[in-house]
Amino acid sequence: MDRRIVILGSGTGGTLTANRLRRHYDESEFRIIVVDQDDDHIHRPGLVCVPFGLAEPEAIVRPRHLQLHDGIGFRRAKAAAVDLDADRVHFTDGTSLGYEVLVLATGTAARPEEIQGLAGPGRDESVFTLHDLPGVLALRRALAAFEGGRLVAGVAGMPGTCPAAALEFCFLADRYFHRRGIRDRVDLAYVTPLDGAFARPAASRVLGRLLEAKGIELVTGFTTAAVDGKGGRLVSYDGREVPFDLAAVVPPHSGAAYVGRSPGLGDERGFVTVDRRTLRSTARPNVFAVGDATGTPGPELVSAAHSQGRVLVNNIRRFLAGRPLDGSFDGPASGFVETGFGKALLVDFGQDTEPLFMKSRLNHFGRRASAWLYWNSVLPGRELPGIGSATPRPGRIRRRVPAGSIR
């Protein structure tokens, strides 16, 4: 019988894990098979740039199978359930696939239907989402025709994905309307269910000051219960309302549906439960997970998946060799936040640490170069400088960032 490593999902985590594993095992040792329901790999950090003409669709979408090294199998199928006792994945087309090791990298799924009206009247006319290509393309057309009014962006429900996307959208919108010469006719607002601009207190202070400096209203503690696209208002569970002419939101997300149909595999939201230090499933020793599919705390960023991929591959190799797993992983990640006008922040995170900040014009070029690095270094599984499996320094603000100096 073939010895198989099966990877469900070929997004960032699944692709780089497959490519790293192929470097360690040739086809005579293990067949590595990656499974996904479609063949469109999207560079998701590029989505927020599309509405402003800073990225084109053809630059952020490529075929999934072409991102895999030679010798890695690719199969188009949708997972129905995982039989943990039989070491087998069942698919919706009636087929199944056995495995010796299973890696779950199926990311998250947007659930706009959980917010009343978000998928209803006004969708892609006055209300847009930032998580998919059709949504940002529709928003691009709407922004081009927008001559003034109130533009609201934010997180409509938790858990979301890519925590900085809506914030970055606000900063890019500020730049966009300044460039068009109509910034004085546009009211910008950022809405969040959190009690600050970001989940981590240090990040919240810095980003909150930056929003204030740019004249962007911050609405906190706003958990969206309903979206009235025709009436132009967001309504919170406590009865507050935020009016808008255009709204760009991040809907709530959950794990993949098959997780809920696989007893013991995940939590009530469909996220795979893992030991956050080893990324091994709490359900079975031969099941691992990577990226947004996991229930581990921390930012959902490309670099987080990259650092997870390193420790994951190491622990799969240890498991197959009968050795103890490495439990040193603490979730390091770095992310650029484009702040407009040729500047950006670089934020370093850890699971158990406060973020570190670096302010530099070079970060703007780093943000612009991130797509090239993604396709040519991250997905092929190459090492990135400065990103390991452990946060190198205690969490503290590396350099205080005065909000007024960023503009």
CA dist 273 → 90, 100, 301 (Å): 20, 19, 19
User: At 164, phi and psi to the nearest 5?
Assistant: -95, -5
* Domain final position from 320, 347, 364: 320
Q: Into how many domains does the chain fold?
A: 2
Going by pLDDT thresholds of 50, 70 and 90, the confidence category of residue 308 is confident
Looking at the DSSP assignment, which residues form a beta bridge with residue 218? 190
CATH number at residue 263: 3.50.50.60
Q: Would you say residue 405 has pLDDT above 60?
A: no
Please say if the pLDDT value at position 183 is more than 70: yes
Host domain of residue 146: 117-252+332-405
**Mean pLDDT, residues 130-158 taken together:** 93
Cβ–Cβ < 8 Å for 326, 314: yes
The least confident of 175-189, 212-226, 267-281, 305-319 is 305-319
Q: Is residue 325 part of a domain?
A: no
**Helix 12-24 and helix 302-320: axis angle, to 10°?**
40
Give yes or no: residues 393 and 289 share one domain: no
Residues 16 and 95 in one domain: yes
270 and 145, same structural domain? no
pLDDT score of 361: 57
Identify whether 9 is part of a domain: yes
Mean pLDDT, all residues of the chain: 85
Q: Do 198 and 148 have their domain in common?
A: yes
Examine the domain organization and report whether 191 and 43 are in the same domain: no
- Residue 41: closest CA among 69, 7, 9: 9
In a domain, 326, yes or no: no
Tell whether 144 and 207 lie within a shared domain.
Answer: yes
Does any domain span residue 44? yes
> For position 16, what pLDDT does the model report?
95
**Inside any domain, residue 345:** yes
Q: Same domain, yes or no, for 214 and 343?
A: yes
Q: What is the mean pLDDT of residues 338-366?
A: 61
Q: Do residues 313 and 220 share a domain? A: no
Q: How far is CA 264 from CA 14, 105, 269, 372, 405, in A?
A: 21, 17, 13, 39, 50
Whether 327 maps to a domain, the answer reads: no
**365 and 233 in a common domain:** yes
Judge whether residue 39 has pLDDT over 70: yes
Given a cut of 60, whether residue 359 has pLDDT beyond it is no
Residue 99 inside a domain? The answer is yes
More confident residue, 200 or 37: 37
Write down which residue in 263, 295, 320 finishes a domain.
320
Among the candidates 263, 291, 320, a domain finishes at: 320
Q: Are residues 224 and 301 in the same domain?
A: no
Q: Are residues 54 and 88 in the same domain?
A: yes
Say yes or no to pLDDT of 322 above 90: yes
Q: Is residue 56 part of a domain?
A: yes
Q: Are 146 and 56 within one domain? A: no
Q: By CB neighbour count within 10 A (0-12 exposed, 13-18 middle, 19+ buried), where does 285 fall? A: exposed
